[in-house]
Amino acid sequence: MAAFEHDLVIIGAGPGGYVAAIRAAQLGLDTACVEKVPELGGTCLRVGCIPSKALLEASERYVEAKSGLKRLGIRVGKVELDLKAMMKHKERTVKTLTQGVAALFEGNGIKRYFGHARIDGPGRVVVEGEEAAEISAKHILIATGSVAAPLPGVELDGDRIGTSTEALSYPEVPEHLAVIGAGVIGVELGSVWSRLGSRVTVLEYLDHILLGFDREVSRQAQRIFKKQGLDFHLSVRVTGARVEGDQCVVEAEGREPLRCDRVLVCVGRKPYTEGLGLESVNLEPDPQGRIPVDRWFRTAAPGVYAIGDVVAGPMLAHKAEEEGIACVEHLVTGHGHVNYDAIPNVVYTHPEIASVGKTEEELREAGVEYKSGSFPFLANGRARAMAQTDGQVKILADAETDRVLGFHILGPRAGDLIAEAAVSVEFGASSEDIARAVHAHPTLAEVVKEAALAVDGRAIHL
């Protein structure tokens, strides 16, 4: 087995791992990264964020071509779905980006190892597989991400009953798709297959969809998704799912069994630390399976760090990226910081949903006095011109200082509009600051300005 030595070895080449590797190389560290699959980019790039967005965009264009352009005075001929071509678009997108990460590794002089990484005591990582290797490193950074969480009683077969990985590659449009879980993945992939012709039934354990989002926004979103064809059943405890003949059967407490063609299980994700060798450096995950770290991402084992989905906090690619950068910058310069209040979250449905900062529920629970201002896209000229008027922008600000505490957007291009909100929260802006800033006319961003004005009860166009 070949032996190698580096300053830093990173386990996992997902968004957190590969971004940390690039920044470490920029800072002068001899950096290596171990990834167990041939393609770089992790779950997000290969079977998560990127392929799902490719299908969301394509399916949205399909629906527009079928019926959504008539209101703009555009009529087209017969529109047909070519699912194979749509899947090829998804695959091309993924391939291009994974190759891009590989080029970044090469350009930054990052050594890549292919295989399963196992920590084998302080400062030592063993790579198991075809390219077996022993690596010595002063610093080890764990960025192994997460995997889909199982649901007791549900028999995953990797085909008819599967996770988001399978739902990104169905060979045909299911006549009836059951989605277990109404979180981000559930509503996004449920929307994709509904647009393409499936009857979609969403079963959710909670009494509302989109856990963690502002409740007012999630209620509005549910009403819109229902009009689009998603059938939600809330407060449902699924007890089992199995393949029976040519159908799937989903069982739930106190309900008749649901028969369908495919089942998508998306009830959350769990940190992935299987076979990582944490015991060799006396590390033990917490009850949720996460690796405890301090504010600089140091674990209890000297020289071992962890970021991303394997540590506490939202399981978001951009959160992992920022943690990776902060971790290696602190390692080299002594400085590194992530403001967790300024991490945005986006749901790429139509309309999009985006948020940053606190929800009203969180502020009330914490006893924080706040003011709220909202403004609908219905009253915005650009949204009217686009014929996309569903939703609103809501801003929450401290009742005494006016500092912005939370932004919540349901509407067209919310995922882009949330960037202004994230910067505002990062720099401690007040709603008055946002209201005084000039926003170009006519743009969707004017809704943000009007919502900021509404915090003080002085919206202009409402």
Distance in angstroms (rounded) separating the CA atoms of residues 455 and 85:
47
Nearest to 301 by CA among 109, 86, 121: 121
Distance in angstroms (rounded) separating the CA atoms of residues 262 and 249:
9
**Token reading at 400:** 């005494």
Distance in angstroms (rounded) separating the CA atoms of residues 294 and 221:
37
Distance in angstroms (rounded) separating the CA atoms of residues 413 and 306:
33
- The three-class DSSP label of residue 370 is strand
Nearest to 176 by CA among 114, 92, 263: 263
**Token reading at 335:** 């400085």
Q: Which of 330, 337, 441, 461 is catalytic?
A: 441
Distance in angstroms (rounded) separating the CA atoms of residues 314 and 354:
14
Amino acid at 222: Q
Question: Is residue 286 exposed (0-12), middle (13-18) or buried (19+ Cβ within 10 Å)?
Answer: exposed
Burial 180-189 (b: 16+ CB within 10 A, else e): bbbbbbbbbb
Distance in angstroms (rounded) separating the CA atoms of residues 64 and 272:
39
CB 93 within 8 Å of CB 100:
no
What contacts 385, CB < 8 A, 6 or more positions away?
442
Distance in angstroms (rounded) separating the CA atoms of residues 374 and 353:
15
What contacts 24, CB < 8 A, 6 or more positions away?
7, 8, 10, 31, 328, 331, 332
Active site residue 441: yes
Q: What residues are labeled active site?
A: 441
